[in-house]
């Protein structure tokens, strides 16, 4: 009697244990593959109540094409033959929705070796698979961005070195031609004016080439660091457009990874370009700082202008934030060892939040014409590099 009671208590304890597991579907099948037990995790994962699923064949959890291919029976046959079968693939919930599952089927035999049924354990891997796919896309974006930056460096060097030297040689040839004509007394006022104009065109072209090459790959960013590069960028912006810029930059400079510096520099560059083209502003503020938390720190870049924002009728997201640019910033950080969480950022423009709550890349889209436009970028600070004096 005591033995029967202990067996009952053991069985009851095991049943309670299985029912308490919510993250896995754990249930038994009879030898023909029909469901004979059902736990709370199975109901949560697959959507069937016990009264709906008991007695039904395991194939109801499979996609139609897998049923047509005979996969449910093949898995049971493999488990019966080898004691265990494992499979990853699409499974179907009661409402018809799909999820990605890892399934382990174990054959259950009695002491005589007769097959009594199967134990089936299913884990929902949908989120893990989604994260893996996002990481794969992110790695691809990093490789694309690496190729893009290498091409930018190549073009910048060709513009600065090859084409710049050719234009300089052309300018020297014009100077020699001018001296030769003057020595022979053949340099009249018209030729002199033409040579002067050509020299001026060459000088202007060389200056444009240097500006383009520097925009592609700022020398100051490579040699002096982010703060000095931003100071150069802002001075050049003010000189070219006549727009006053106030700055609040860290001193001493932030000691960031090259990838983070490059990303932040290009964000400021693109923001200032947009101000010049679209904002009709006469004042801009650029602030860069580091905020420290309990476990980590983050850089905060804030750019504000007093110009007009986007009209409410056009706030469909396409003309406010370009996700590809932020993906490129993320890829720069990932390419240099920062993980996906470290490379994430919060991007805000003043206005009404878009639907979706506090996602890592929340974009607040709506701007009004009577409110200043602002862009705040706050990525967690990536790994630092050895200190480099400005």
Tell me the pLDDT tens digit for each residue of 277-314. 988 899 999 999 887 766 566 788 999 999 876 555 44
Highest mean pLDDT: which of 93-102, 129-138, 352-361, 367-376? 93-102
pLDDT-based confidence at residue 18 (cuts at 50, 70, 90)? low
pLDDT-based confidence at residue 118 (cuts at 50, 70, 90)? very high
Sheet holding 244-248, edge to edge: 244-248, 283-292, 297-305, 374-377, 347-349
In angstroms, the CA 337 to CA 354 distance is: 31
Exposed/middle/buried for 365, CB within 10 Å: 0-12, 13-18, 19+? Answer: buried
Give the model's pLDDT for residue 388: 39
* pTM of the predicted structure, to 2 decimals: 0.48
Dihedral pair phi/psi, residue 242, rounded to 5°: 70, 20
Asked if the model's pLDDT at residue 165 lies above 90, the reply is: no
Q: Which residues pair with 299 in a beta bridge?
A: 290
- Reported as a single tens digit per residue, the pLDDT across 200-257 is 888 888 888 877 877 676 767 777 788 988 998 999 899 999 999 999 998 887 777 7
CB 349 within 8 A of CB 340: no
In angstroms, the CA 69 to CA 203 distance is: 73
Tell me the percentage of the chain whose pLDDT exceeds 70. Answer: 71
- What's the alpha-carbon Rg for the chain, to the nearest Å? 33
Contacts of 225 (CB under 8 A, 6+ apart): 253, 261, 388, 390
**Cα(first)–Cα(last) distance of the chain, in Å?**
85
Name the one residue in this structure whose structure tokens are 């919510």: 22
CB 115 within 8 A of CB 31: yes
Asked if the model's pLDDT at residue 326 lies above 60, the reply is: no
Q: How far is CA 377 from CA 299, 300, 326, in A?
A: 8, 6, 10
Asked if the model's pLDDT at residue 387 lies above 70, the reply is: no
| 3-state SS string for the chain | CHHHHHHHHHHHHHHHHHHHCCCEEEEEECCCCEECCCCHHHHHHHCCCHHHHCCCEHHHHECHHHHHCCHHHHHHHHHHHHCEEEEEEEEECCCCCEEEEEEEEEEEECCCCCEEEEEEEEEECHHHHHHHHHHHHHHHHHHHHHHHHHHHHHHHHHHHHHHHHHHHHHHHHHHHHHHHHHHCCCCCHHHHHHHHHHHHHHHHHHHHHHHHHHHHCCHHHHHCCHHHHHHHHHHHHHHHHCCEEEEECCCCCCCCCHHHHHHHHHHHHHHHHHHHHHHCCCEEEEEEEEEECCCCEEEEEEEEECCCCCCHHHCCCCCCCCHHHHHHHHHHHHHCCCCHHHHCCCEEECCCCCCCCCCCCCCCCCCCCCCCCEEEECCECCCCCCCCCC
Name the one residue in this structure whose structure tokens are 């898995």: 75
- Reported as a single tens digit per residue, the pLDDT across 23-63 is 899 999 999 999 999 999 999 999 999 999 999 999 999 99
Per CATH, the architecture of 2-124 is what? 2-Layer Sandwich (3.30)
* CATH code for the structural domain at 224-390: 3.30.565.10
Give the model's pLDDT for residue 138: 83
Mean pLDDT, residues 319-347: 41
Prior bond to 254 cis, omega within 30?
no
């Amino acid at each position: 009697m005591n033995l029967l009671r202990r067996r009952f208590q053991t069985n009851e304890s095991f049943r309670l244990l299985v029912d308490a597991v919510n993250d896995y579907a754990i249930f038994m099948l009879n030898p023909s593959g029909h469901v004979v037990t059902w736990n709370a995790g199975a109901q949560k994962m697959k959507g069937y109540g016990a009264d709906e699923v008991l007695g039904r064949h395991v194939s109801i959890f499979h996609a139609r094409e897998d049923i047509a291919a005979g996969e449910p029976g093949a898995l049971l046959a493999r488990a019966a033959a080898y004691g265990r079968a494992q499979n990853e693939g699409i499974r179907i919930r009661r409402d018809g929705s799909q999820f990605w599952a890892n399934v382990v089927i174990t054959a259950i035999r009695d002491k005589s070796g007769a097959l009594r049924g199967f134990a089936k354990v299913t884990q929902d891997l949908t989120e893990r698979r989604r994260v893996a796919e996002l990481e794969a896309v992110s790695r691809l974006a990093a490789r694309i961005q690496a190729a893009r930056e290498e091409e930018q460096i190549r073009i910048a060097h060709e513009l600065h070195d090859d084409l710049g030297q050719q234009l300089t040689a052309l300018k020297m040839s014009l100077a020699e031609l001018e001296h030769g004509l003057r020595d022979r007394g053949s340099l009249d006022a018209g030729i002199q004016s033409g040579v002067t104009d050509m020299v001026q065109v060459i000088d202007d072209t060389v200056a444009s080439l240097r500006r383009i090459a520097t925009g592609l790959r700022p020398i100051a960013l490579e040699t002096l660091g982010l703060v000095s590069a931003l100071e150069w960028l802002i001075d050049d912006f003010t000189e070219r457009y006549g727009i006053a810029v106030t700055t609040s930059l860290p001193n001493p400079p932030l000691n960031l990874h090259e990838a983070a510096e490059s990303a932040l520099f290009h964000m400021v560059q693109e923001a200032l370009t947009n101000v010049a083209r679209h904002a009709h502003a006469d004042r801009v503020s650029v602030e860069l700082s580091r905020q420290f938390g309990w476990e980590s720190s983050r850089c905060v870049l804030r750019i504000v202008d007093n110009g007009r924002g986007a009209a409410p009728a056009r706030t469909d997201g396409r003309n406010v934030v370009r996700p590809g640019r932020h993906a490129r910033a993320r890829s720069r950080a990932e390419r240099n060892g920062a993980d996906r969480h470290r490379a994430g950022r919060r991007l805000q423009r003043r206005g009404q939040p878009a639907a979706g709550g506090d996602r890592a890349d929340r974009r607040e889209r709506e701007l009004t014409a009577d409110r200043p436009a602002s862009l705040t970028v706050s990525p967690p600070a990536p790994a630092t590099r050895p200190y480099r004096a400005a």
